[in-house]
Amino acid sequence: MSTKTKQFNEIIKAEAKNLNFYYGDFHALKGLDFKVSEKKVTALIGPSGCGKTTFLRCFNRMHDLYPNNRYEGEILMYPDEINIVGDNIDPIEVRMRISMVFQKPNPFPKTIYENVAYGLRVRGIRGKDIIDERVEKSLRGAALWDEVKDRLHEHAFNMSGGQQQRLCIARALATDPEILLFDEPTSALDPIATSKVEELIVELKKVLTILIVTHNMQQAARISDYTAFMYVGELVEFGDTDTIFTAPTQKLTEEYITGRFG
């Protein structure tokens, strides 16, 4: 792996060190070393099945939900330097600090308000005033407030797909996460909704660290500061997005971004 990057001048938010991951016997991630800069957008790209989503899901321990999954190595989160994937770390604590937005919008079948408030309720936050305030703030943060402020108590399923996805972002924002994970957040959306979500991501990096998996290389080029290219469970190349897209050092990366496979 070649690391041609200005990253070391920045604050590092999280760092994978020799991370391995297994689905049962299948070795899905092979010794990844990787740094995520604070308040930047880092994109993970690569062909289907390369492990980018698997890697993303390590960051909030989603793999713990299913049996026979195993982590090896570490992902350190700063400033307190906890090992996110460590056996002694409670996955719930990790998920409270690192939120996730999924590929398909998955709002709960509840009202818009309750969707956003859920993360707060899980944390035991009661009190209508504080919840009202945080709901409004998150919906504004997700650029959704103006569209829904008059129908907060409507069912979330009545919204359009793009609105639902922004609602999911608001839901993830409500608890002030340190890192926000996006798993191909626009793959189920139309172009207009996609551009809204993209603008939002660029806006959000002012306040938090973002890690995004995307299938769409133009998207990675448009919104990310750093890009990692993965192939069959390995990190092939990592660098700032401009360099990766204009002057990749690895032949495999070049072939992928010029569309010769994938």
Partner 1 sequence: MKKKIFSKRYIIETMIEGSLMLSAVFSIFITLGIIFVLCYESLEFFKEIPIKDFLTGTVWTPLFANPQFGILPLVAGTLLTTAVAVSVALPIGLITAIYLSEYAPHKFRETVKPILELLEAVPTVVYGYFALLFLTPLLQKVFENLSGFNALSPGLIMGIMIVPYVGSVSEDALKAVPMHIREGSYAMGATKLQTAFKVLIPSAFSGIAAAFIMGISRAIGETMIVAIAAGMMPNFTANPMEPIQTLTSYIVQVSLGDLPHGTIEYKTIFAAGIVLFIMTLSFNIIGFWLKKRIREAY
Partner 2 sequence: MKETLQELKKKIAKRKFYNKIFAFIGFISTTVGIILLAVLFIDLAIDGAQRISYKFFTSFPSRFPEEAGILSAWVGTCLVMIVTAAAAVPLGVGAGIYLEEYAKKNWFTNLIEININNLAGVPSIIYGLLALGLFVYFFNFGESVLTGGLALALLILPIVIMATREAIRAIPNSMREAAYALGATKWQTVKDHIIPYSIGGILTGIIIGMSRAIGETAPIITVGALTFIAFLPPSPIEPEFPFLNFKWLMAPFTVMPIQMFNWVSRPQQAFHLNAAAAGIVLLVMTLLMNALAIYIRYKFRKKIKW
Interface ranges with partner 2 (CB under 8 A): 60, 62, 65, 67, 92-93, 95-96, 99-100, 102, 104, 106-109, 118-119, 121-123, 157, 168, 171-172, 175
Nearer to partner 2, 119 or 248 (CB): 119
Tokens of 110: 């509840």
CB of residue 23 to partner 2, shortest distance in Å: 14
* Residues 44 and 32: beta-carbon distance below 8 Å: no
| Cα–Cα distance, 5 to 124 (Å, whole number) | 42
Residues engaged in binding partner 1 (CB under 8 A): 64, 87-88, 90, 92
Cα 239 from Cα 192, distance rounded (Å): 29
Q: Looking at this protein, which amino acid is placed at residue 13?
A: K
| Alpha carbon distance 245, 212 (integer Å) | 17
Question: Which of partner 1, partner 2, none sits in contact with 145, Cβ below 5 to 8 A by type?
Answer: none
Query: Among residues 109 and 127, whose Cβ is nearest to partner 2?
Result: 109
- CB 19, min distance to partner 2, A: 20
Q: How far is the CB of 90 from partner 2 (least distance, A)?
A: 10
Q: Which residues does residue 20 pair with via DSSP β-bridges, in sequence order?
A: 72
Across-strand partners of 227? Answer: 43, 239
Q: Which does 18 bind (CB under 5 to 8 A by kind): partner 1, partner 2, none?
A: none
Q: Is 243 exposed, middle or buried (0-12, 13-18, 19+ CB in 10 A)?
A: middle
Least distance from partner 1 to the Cβ atom of residue 68, Å: 11
- Residue 40 binds which of partner 1, partner 2, none (CB < 5-8 A, kind-dependent): none
- Residue 78 touches which of partner 1, partner 2, none (Cβ within 5-8 Å per kind): none
Closest CA to 5 of 37, 51, 41: 37
Radius of gyration for the alpha carbons in the chain, expressed in angstroms and rounded: 18
Look-up: residue for tokens 């299938």?
A: 215
Cβ distance to partner 1 smaller for residue 26 or 157: 26
Q: How far apart are CA 38 and CA 54, in angstroms?
A: 21
Residue among 210 and 217 whose Cβ is closer to partner 2 = 210
Amino acid at 15: E
Report the C-alpha gap between 244 and 221 in whole angstroms: 9
* CB 71 to partner 1: min, Å: 9
Tracing tokens 């307190």 back to the chain, one arrives at 80
> Which of partner 1, partner 2, none interacts with 87 (beta carbon under 5 to 8 A by kind)?
partner 1
Min dist CB 222 to partner 2, Å, is: 25
* Residue 32 interacts with which of partner 1, partner 2, none, CB < 5 to 8 Å by class: none
Nearer to partner 2, 2 or 106 (CB): 106
